[in-house]
A and B are shown apart, each in its own frame.
Chain A
Amino acid sequence: MAETVKKIVKTIKVDLDKCNGCRGCEMACSAYHATPKYSSMNPARSRIRVIMDPFNDEFVPIRATDYTKAGCDGRRVYTIRGKEYSECSFCGTICPTRDLFFDPDSGLPLKCDLCEDEKVPLCVQACPQGCLTYVELEEEVEEEVKTSEMELGLKSLVDKYGVRKLQDSFARIAKKG
Chain B
Amino acid sequence: MRYAEAGYNLEIDLSRGNIERVETDPKLTELFLGGQGVNAKIIWDRVGPEVKPFDEGNLLIFGAGLLHGTPVIGCNRTSVNTINPMTGIFGHSTMGGFFGPEIKHAGYDRIIISGKAPKLVYLWIKNDKVEIRDASHLKGKTVRETTRLIKEELNEPFAQVACIGPAGENKVFTASLEHNWNSAARGPGPIMGDKMIKAIAVRGTKDINIAHPQELFELCLKMKKEMYESDGCGDWMAVDEDDSFHHNNFSWGNSRTRIKNYWSEELQKRWTNWKYDHMDRQMGCYNCPKGCINVISWPGHPRFGYKCYGKDTYHMAAFKELDYSYELLGYCQDYGLDSYSTPQTLALGIELYEAGILTDKDMPNFPTDSGDRIKYLVEKVVHREGIGDILANGSWHAARQIGNGAEAFEHNTVKKMEQLPIKLGKLNPAYYLMIATGEKMAITQIEGSFPQDPIRDLDERQKFVDRWDAVPSEIFKDIFMRWEKRNEMSVEDTCLVTDWNEAMHYVDDSTGLCGFVSSFRGQFGGKTAFSFNNVPQIISLATGMDMDKDKLWEICRRNRTLIRAINNRLGIRRVDDDPPKDHWAVRDPELEAKMLDGYYDLRGFTKDGIPTKEELYKQGLDYVADELIQRGILDPNEGTPSQEKAKLEDQKSGGC
Contacts and interface: CB of A to CB of B under 8 A. Distances in A.
B71 A31 contact: yes
A41 interface: yes
Given A27-B71, A128-B229, A42 B105 contact: yes
Nearest to B285: A22
Interface in A92-112: 104
Given A54-B180, A125-B221, A37 B286 contact: no
A40 B107 CA distance: 13
Interface stretch (B207-215, B362-370, B577-585): B207-215
Interface in B154-195: 157-158, 180-181
Contact of A54 (B204, B209, B305): B305
Given A20-B283, A42-B205, A128-B224, A55 B210 contact: no
B204 A38 contact: no
A22 B213 contact: no
Interface in A19-50: 20-24, 27-28, 31, 34, 36-45, 49
B147 interface: yes
A39 B285 contact: no
Contact of A39 (B147, B209, B282): B209
B281 A55 contact: no
Contacts of A86: 157
Contacts of A22: 284-289
B210 A39 contact: yes
A23 B281 contact: no
B497 interface: no
A129 B289 contact: yes
Given A23-B286, A57-B303, A128-B228, A42 B71 contact: no
B214 A44 contact: no
Contact of A37 (B158, B214, B280): B214
A55 B180 contact: yes
Contact of B98 (A23, A42, A45, A49): A23
Contacts of A21: 283-284
Chain A interface category by residue count: 20 to 34
Interface string B217-260: 10001001100110000000000000000000000000000000
Contacts of A42: 105, 205-208
Given A20-B289, A23-B286, A44 B224 contact: no
A37 B283 contact: no
B214 A41 contact: no
A157 interface: no
B213 A39 contact: yes
B70 A57 contact: no
A43 B389 CA distance: 44
Nearest to A39: B213
Given A22-B288, A57-B281, A40 B207 contact: yes
A154 interface: no
Contact of B157 (A27, A51, A128): A51
B157 A126 contact: no
B295 to A, nearest CB: 6
A49 B203 CA distance: 14
Contact of B281 (A39, A44, A53, A59): A59
A63 to B, nearest CB: 16
- The winner among B216, B217, B290 for most chain A CB atoms within 10 A is B217
A128 B225 contact: yes
Contacts of B284: 20-22
Contacts of B204: 44
Contact of B71 (A41, A45, A54, A104): A41
A42 B283 CA distance: 22
A129 B444 CA distance: 27
A27 B214 CA distance: 14
B560 interface: no
A173 B287 CA distance: 42
A30 to B, nearest CB: 8
Interface string B610-630: 000000000000000000000
Interface string A125-149: 1101100000000000000000000
A54 B210 contact: no
Contacts of A45: 205, 207
B69 interface: yes
A43 B105 contact: yes
A51 B305 CA distance: 19
B207 to A, nearest CB: 4
Interface in A61-105: 86, 104
A34 to B, nearest CB: 7
Contacts of A44: 105, 158, 204-206
B77 interface: no
A22 B292 CA distance: 11
Interface string B559-585: 000000000000000000000000000
A21 B105 CA distance: 18
A45 B158 CA distance: 13
Contacts of A41: 69-71, 207-208, 210
Contacts of A129: 228, 289, 291
- The winner among A40, A59, A125 for most chain B CB atoms within 10 A is A40
B656 to A, nearest CB: 64
Given A21-B284, A41-B207, A54-B305, A36 B289 contact: no
Nearest to A40: B207
B213 A38 contact: yes
- The winner among B216, B228, B282 for most chain A CB atoms within 10 A is B228
A38 B216 contact: yes
B225 A37 contact: no
B594 interface: no
Contacts of A126: 221, 224
Contact of A55 (B148, B217, B290): B148
A174 B180 CA distance: 51
A106 to B, nearest CB: 12
A27 B209 CA distance: 12
Contact of A20 (B205, B207, B281): B281
27 contacts: A20-B290, A21-B284, A22-B286, A22-B288, A22-B289, A23-B286, A27-B287, A28-B71, A31-B213, A34-B207, A37-B213, A38-B71, A39-B210, A40-B207, A41-B207, A42-B206, A43-B105, A44-B105, A45-B207, A53-B157, A54-B283, A57-B280, A86-B157, A125-B221, A126-B224, A128-B289, A129-B228
Given A20-B281, A57-B295, 10 more contacts: A17-B281, A21-B283, A22-B287, A22-B288, A23-B287, A34-B207, A40-B209, A44-B105, A125-B221, A129-B291
Nearest 7 interchain pairs by C-beta: A44-B205, A104-B205, A128-B228, A38-B213, A40-B207, A20-B284, A38-B217
Interface of B: 69-71, 73, 98, 105, 144, 147-148, 157-158, 180-181, 204-210, 213-214, 216-217, 221, 224-225, 228-229, 280-291, 295, 297, 303, 305
